[in-house]
């Protein structure tokens, strides 16, 4: 196996006396889809926030292609090729779909300080290609404010792909979607990352999505990594069973709104 894209060692964070993330270590290979699962409060989002620089870690190492990115602010981390999508969609409501993607491209090409050229003509081609990729070309001129939820998620994906990231951090990419849509979006994501060789770390509550798309699964409980491996390994892991026991379903169910 080649060197990992992302290498995490002994990542830890506590809030007050509470250990939110404790001693987490893992590698993420090029083109790999790695799912990070666990009950609410297990430390998934804290992990994500430390990886992309929103949160300062107490200890540990995070290397992207061998370069340490721990302690860098989110903007720097993004510049180094780490994209992120949000659990709650974050798009520009007063811009069109195309402009939303153009914004990310403008930032990627470092043109945000240009006060003179009209922005509308910048990187149109690139933006349309990205929208094509996520199946949003037809809606390019619509305002983001009036998009259906599933389309917003697609738009988010297009935005996240704009700076040609090597690594995508996806926080609950299918949250709030209808089951059929979830599978479709995840399939789309899987296809794109496979084609472009992007590595993905994602959290997800829907186990169907996880089991059908993740190459590998890690389970986090109370800040500790309790299992890691293939879908089957994790499913049959005794400790994982124990953590999730008693809920009727294997993993906690969550009402999606």
Partner 1 sequence: MSFYFAQFLTGLSSASSLFLVACGLSLIFGVTRVVNFAHGSFYMLGAYVAYALVQFVPGSILGFWGSVLAAALIVALVGVVVEILILKRIYNAPELYQLVATFGVVLLMQDAILLIFGGDDQFGPRAPGLDSVVRVFGEPIPEYDLVLIALGPIVLGALWLLLNRTRWGILVRAATLDREMVASLGVNQSWLFTTVFFLGSFLAGLGGALQLPRVSINLLMDLSIIAEAFVVVVIGGMGSIPGAFIAALLIGELNAFGVLVLPQATIVLAFVVMAVVLVIRPYGLLGKAETLAHVAGQVELPIRPASTLAKSIAGLLLIGLVVMPFLAGEFAIVLATDVLIFALFAASLHFIMSNGGMVSFGHAAYFGLGAYGAAFVIKYAGGSMELALLAAPLMAAAGALIFGWFCVRLSGVYMAMLTLAAAQIVWSTAYQWQDLTGGDDGLLGIWPSEWAKSKTAYYYLALVLCGGGILAMRRMIFSPFGYTLRGGRDNPNRTESIGINLRQHQWAAFIIAGVFAGIAGGVYVFSKGSIFPDEAAIPRSVDALVMVLLGGVQTLSGPVVGAGVFRLLEDEISRLDYWRAILGVIIISIVVIAPEGIAGFIKKIAVKAGFERNEEQAS
Residues that bind partner 1 (CB under 8 A): 52, 74-75, 78-79, 84, 86, 90-96, 99, 102-104, 106-108, 111-120, 122, 139, 141-143, 145-146, 159, 162-163
Between 136 and 225, CB nearer to partner 1:
136
Q: CB of 171: closest distance to partner 1 in angstroms?
A: 11
Between 86 and 211, CB nearer to partner 1:
86
Q: CB of 207: closest distance to partner 1 in angstroms?
A: 27
Its sign, for the CA torsion 90, 94, 97, 98, is: negative
Q: How far is CA 52 from the centre of its chain?
A: 10
Helix pair 124-133, 149-161: axis angle to 10 deg = 130
CA 176 to CA 22: how far, in whole Å? 29
The number of residues making up the chain comes to 257
Its sign, for the CA torsion 120, 80, 45, 2, is: positive
Q: CB of 83: closest distance to partner 1 in angstroms?
A: 9
- Two tokens, residue 182: 């979830």
Between 29 and 143, CB nearer to partner 1:
143
Q: CB of 157: closest distance to partner 1 in angstroms?
A: 13
If residue 133 lies in a helix (H) or strand (E), which one and from where to where? helix 124-133
Between 91 and 221, CB nearer to partner 1:
91
Q: CB of 69: closest distance to partner 1 in angstroms?
A: 13
Its sign, for the CA torsion 161, 165, 168, 171, is: negative
CA 243 to CA 145: how far, in whole Å? 40
Cβ atoms of residues 25 and 53 within 8 Å: no
Between 31 and 135, CB nearer to partner 1:
135
Q: CB of 232: closest distance to partner 1 in angstroms?
A: 35
Q: CB of 101: closest distance to partner 1 in angstroms?
A: 10
Beta-bridge partner residues of 24: 11
Closest Cα partner for 142 from 110, 82, 95? 95
């Amino acid at each position: 196996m080649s060197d990992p894209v992302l290498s995490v060692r002994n990542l830890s964070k506590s809030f007050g006396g509470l250990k939110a993330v404790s001693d987490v270590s893992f590698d993420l290979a090029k083109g790999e889809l790695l799912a990070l699962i666990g009950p609410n409060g297990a430390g998934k989002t804290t992990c994500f926030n430390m990886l992309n620089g929103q949160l300062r870690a107490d200890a540990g190492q995070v290397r992207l292609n061998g370069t340490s990115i721990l302690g860098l602010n989110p903007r720097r981390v993004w510049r180094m090729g780490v994209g992120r999508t949000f659990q709650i969609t974050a798009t520009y409501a007063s811009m069109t779909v195309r402009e939303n993607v153009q914004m990310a491209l403008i930032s990627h090409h470092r043109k945000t300080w240009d006060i003179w050229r009209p922005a509308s003509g910048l990187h149109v081609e690139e933006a349309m290609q990205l929208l094509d990729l996520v199946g949003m070309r037809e809606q390019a001129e619509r305002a983001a404010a009036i998009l259906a939820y599933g389309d917003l998620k697609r738009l988010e994906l297009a935005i996240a792909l704009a700076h040609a990231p090597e690594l995508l951090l996806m926080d609950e990419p299918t949250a709030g979607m209808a089951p059929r849509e979830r599978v479709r979006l995840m399939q789309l994501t899987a296809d794109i990352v496979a084609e472009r060789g992007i590595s993905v770390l994602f959290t997800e509550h829907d186990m169907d999505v996880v089991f059908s798309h993740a190459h590998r699964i890690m389970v986090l409980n109370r800040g500790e990594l309790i299992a890691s491996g293939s879908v089957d390994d994790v499913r049959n892991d005794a400790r994982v069973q124990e953590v999730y026991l008693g809920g009727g379903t294997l993993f906690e169910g969550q009402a999606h709104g």
